[in-house]
Amino acid sequence: MTDAPEVSDAPDAPDGREAIVAARSFLFVPGDRPDRYAKAHASGADLVIIDLEDAVAPADKDAARAHVAAWLAAGHRPVVRVNAPGTPWSEADLAMAAEHGCPVMVPKSEDPAALSEIAARTAGRCPLIALIETARGVLRAHEVSEAPGVVRLAFGNVDLAADLGVAHDDHLALAHARSQVVLAAAAAGLCPPVDGVTTAVRDADALTGDVTHGRRLGFAGKLCIHPAQLPTVASGFAPTDAELAWAKSVLAAGGAVTTVDGQMVDKPVLERARRLLAQAGRTG
């Protein structure tokens, strides 16, 4: 695949903020499968998320946390999806994350106070990805996005669909919720959010459709559950050749209000052109 960093789970900033902002593809790996950590690391994902929540049975939570701690102690820097605040395992998960200063994905993000407490508990060492996957989380997305430590929002389509009683792959049913998350991120000055998973692992058309839909709504990355999904996600969220050619032509026209290919160009259009070129330059 193209546009992926050489080291997939080692954020380039000291605490991972820059890598979180730049990432398009996020690959989940179960926390209780340490044999898969290295494979995920070598997969080409922009960031790896080791999952201590849904992927791990209650009886295996402590062992999984120990495996993650050992991986972090060895110098690797994945994102760790901890168990949700209020669960029996969240305190130990956060203590481990704080010790190693790794990025944290917070599931069921719906309470800004809980996120503030997590930021305080980790002494600000762990940048937070707030996973919005409940109806309450969608309705409070703007407050969530402004909580201390939150660097980026992510959309949990499967859990939210269960909360709403709709199909998790129904674009229409979840379009409003997706747009709410995109709007909240923009209003808070965050980078565009990360879209949810495509559960049809072997359905290339479904994945392409989901990526196209997510990007059209304003998402700039996607959660992945299998390495086979990574190339489509990386290319689908990258600026296209046509977009880059357009951006270059817009900037070449100068900074004043003008027209390019019959379309008016003013300050907002110039800003979009600059963003597209910056995205291309950031990922090569």
- pLDDT value at position 8? 40
* Ranges of each domain in the chain: 17-238, 239-284
What is the rounded (10 degree) CA torsion for 212, 214, 216, 217? 170
- pLDDT value at position 276? 66
Cα(276)–Cα(119) distance, rounded to whole angstroms? Answer: 32
Residues 249-255: contacts with CB under 8 Å, at least 24 apart: 251/277
Global pTM value: 0.84
- pLDDT value at position 263? 66
- pLDDT value at position 273? 67
φ, ψ (nearest 5 deg) of residue 37: -60, -50
CB contact burial 138-170 (16+ within 10 A = b; e otherwise): bebbbbbbebebbbbbbbbbbbbbebbeeebbe
Residue 225 is classified by DSSP as S
84 token code pair: 């949700």
β-pair partners for 152:
129
| Strands 194-195 and 221-224, bridge-based pairing | parallel
Closest by CA position to 222, among listed 208, 204, 202: 208
Cα(186)–Cα(190) distance, rounded to whole angstroms? Answer: 6
Cα(16)–Cα(89) distance, rounded to whole angstroms? Answer: 24
- pLDDT value at position 255? 59
Would you write out the chain's pLDDT as a tens digit for each of its 284 residues?
A: 333 333 344 444 446 899 999 999 999 999 999 999 999 999 999 999 999 999 999 999 999 999 999 999 999 999 999 999 999 999 999 999 999 999 999 999 999 999 999 999 998 899 999 999 999 999 999 999 999 999 999 999 999 999 999 999 999 999 999 999 999 999 999 999 999 999 999 999 999 999 999 999 999 999 999 999 999 999 999 876 666 666 666 667 665 656 656 565 656 666 666 766 677 765 44
Cα(105)–Cα(50) distance, rounded to whole angstroms? Answer: 9
Q: Which fold has domain 17-238?
A: TIM Barrel (3.20.20)
Cα(144)–Cα(156) distance, rounded to whole angstroms? Answer: 14
- pLDDT value at position 74? 96
